[in-house]
Chain A
Amino acid sequence: RLRKWQRRIRVSDASERNLAFALSELDRIASKLGLPRNVRENAAVLYRGAVEKGLIRGRSIEGVAAAALYAACRRCRVPRTLDEISEASRVDRKEIGRTYRFLSRELGIKLAPTNPIDYVPRFASELGLPGEVESKAIAILQKAAEKGLTSGRGPTGVAAAAIYIASVLLGNRRTQRDVAEVAGVTEVTIRNRYKELTEHLDIDVTL
């Protein structure tokens, strides 16, 4: 009766309020990371799907929103690392990773492992590198993947090393330190990947 009706109103009120909050969270994090509109929309679709399947129970709205955004970024091939999403959302990276696995399983989303190549455009532009360097780095990564040199390595680290090598080869050198900073890895990692790539792909990087 009236009471049941009132409860329904309350529930739908709460649901709408939560959804509105989630969508504003998605927008807040997305704009902080400078993500394009299609990624935000993709994340919103994922979030609504999670709501419809009751996957939010026992989880925080912020956590699910962050995980949806992480998944959307990968889907749209403009990946952000868990650390970047974590920093922008103030949700623990462990929780984002856990929720992401849960969502991809429950929503039947099978995403391929992040391809290092997808990080190249963003890192290269942040380093102010021209298109030729970007293309060269991508070519290096394609060869590296064929020879199994990317398996098990962090995608950002391999991408960073490829960009560093390409920048040196094409006379637009960036320091390991600068590349490391935009890629969010240490210089040691770039050096390790650099050695591996130049040795196994017969690249002469004479300074």
Chain B
Amino acid sequence: MNNTGEIMEPKIKIVNVVVSTQIGSDIDLEEAALILDNAEYEPEQFPGLVCRLSEPKVALLIFRSGKVNCTGAKSKEEAEVAIKKIIKELKDAGMDIIDDPEVKVQNMVATADLGIEPNLDDIALMIEGTEYEPEQFPGLVYRLDDPKVVVLIFGSGKVVITGLKKEGDAEIALNKILETLREIEEIK
């Protein structure tokens, strides 16, 4: 028996955090590409410089404007560590860089388990704003308005929540989904 009761379903895991910031202006990406180790810069293909770090394991996109995106982090803190790392490398090489810029979380992706195996056909037929095309993708796409997030629901009960700005919205969204699922069961 589970001594913690039954309310431990929302074991939500943040698997990706996307953050943006600004580390300067008029950055010479050619120069930065030479300074940073694992950097790729192919302006013909994409205007930003791509830099992958192994610790923390993230990818950074640096633009000429000084805007920087960081993806792949497991938390905002991890993304901040990554940004500080490249800032130090660029500063040590003599570039004009802002020291500790404000970073903004633009998106977070979380995974969770509903604890039950939902009937995706029923959800698709009864809930407005859902898309379910098994020919194309096995998950049902559910767009919520209140926490403005998108939830991918699978037949196994596993779920992916994306579009998150706040970590707490994941649990709110999850509970709304579970409540909606209960309502469907009642109507059935």
B-binding residues in A (CB < 8 A): 81-82, 97, 101, 112-114, 145, 148, 150-156
13 extra A-B contacts, CB within 8 A, seeds A81-B135, A112-B121: A82-B136, A97-B133, A113-B121, A113-B134, A148-B155, A151-B119, A151-B120, A151-B134, A152-B120, A152-B134, A152-B155, A153-B134, A154-B135
CB closest chain-B residue, reference A114? B135
Q: If the complex has contacts A148-B117, A148-B119, are A154 and B134 also in contact, measured as CB distance less than 8 A?
A: yes
Interface stretch (choices B31-39, B57-65, B92-100, B124-132): B124-132
What 6 pairs between A and B have smallest CB-CB spacing? A152-B138, A152-B155, A151-B155, A151-B120, A113-B132, A113-B124
Task: Contacts A112-B124, A112-B125, A113-B121 given; indicate if A155 touches B135 (C-beta within 8 A).
Answer: yes
Report the interface size class on chain B: 10 to 19
B48 within 8 A of A: no
Assuming A152-B139, A152-B154, is B134 touching A114 (CB within 8 A)?
yes
Chain A residues within an 8 Å CB radius of B117: 148
Cβ of B163 to closest chain A Cβ, rounded Å:
18
- The number of inter-chain residue pairs (CB within 8 angstroms) is 41
In the assembled complex, the CB of A169 is this many whole angstroms from the nearest CB of chain B, namely 25
Among A81, A82, A151, contact of B121 (Cβ-Cβ < 8 Å): A151
| Bound: A150/B138 CA distance, A | 10
**Is the pair B138, A153 in contact by a Cβ cutoff of 8 Å?**
yes
- Give me the interface of B with A, judged by CB distance under 8 Å: 117, 119-121, 124-125, 131-136, 138-139, 154-155
Name the B residues within 8 Å of A112 (CB-CB).
Answer: 121, 124-125
A179 to chain B, nearest CB (A): 17
Asked if residues B133 and A113 are in contact (CB atoms below 8 Å), the reply is yes
A57 to chain B, nearest CB (A): 23
Question: Within the complex, what minimum Cβ distance (angstroms) separates A105 from chain B?
Answer: 9
Q: What is the CA–CA distance of A60 and B59 in the complex, to the nearest angstrom?
A: 36
B165 to chain A, nearest CB (A): 25
13 residue pairs of the A-B complex, CB under 8 angstroms, read: A97-B133, A112-B124, A112-B125, A113-B121, A113-B124, A113-B134, A114-B134, A151-B119, A151-B121, A153-B134, A153-B138, A155-B134, A155-B135
Bound-state CA distance A153–B121 (Å) is 12
Assess the B119–A82 pair: CB atoms within 8 A. no
B136 contact set on A, CB distance < 8 A: 82, 97
Which A residues are CB-close (under 8 A) to B125? 112
Question: Which has the most chain B C-beta neighbours within 10 Å: A81, A152, A153?
Answer: A152
Query: In whole angstroms, how far apart are the Cα atoms of A114 and B139 in the complex?
Result: 14
Query: Smallest distance from the beta carbon of A81 to chain B beta carbons, Å?
Result: 6
Q: How far is the CB of A69 from chain B (nearest CB, A)?
A: 15
Contacts of B121 on A, CB cut-off 8 Å? 112-113, 145, 151
Q: Which residue of B lies closest to A116 (CB)?
A: B134
Q: How far is the CA of A148 from the CA of B156 in the complex (A)?
A: 10
- Shortest distance between the CB of A119 and any CB in chain B (Å): 10
| CB-nearest residue of chain A to B138 | A152
How many angstroms from the CA of A49 to the CA of B124 in the assembled complex?
Answer: 24
Residue of B131, B135, B139, B155 with most chain A CB atoms under a 10 A cut-off: B135
Residues of A within 8 A of B134 (CB): 113-114, 150-155
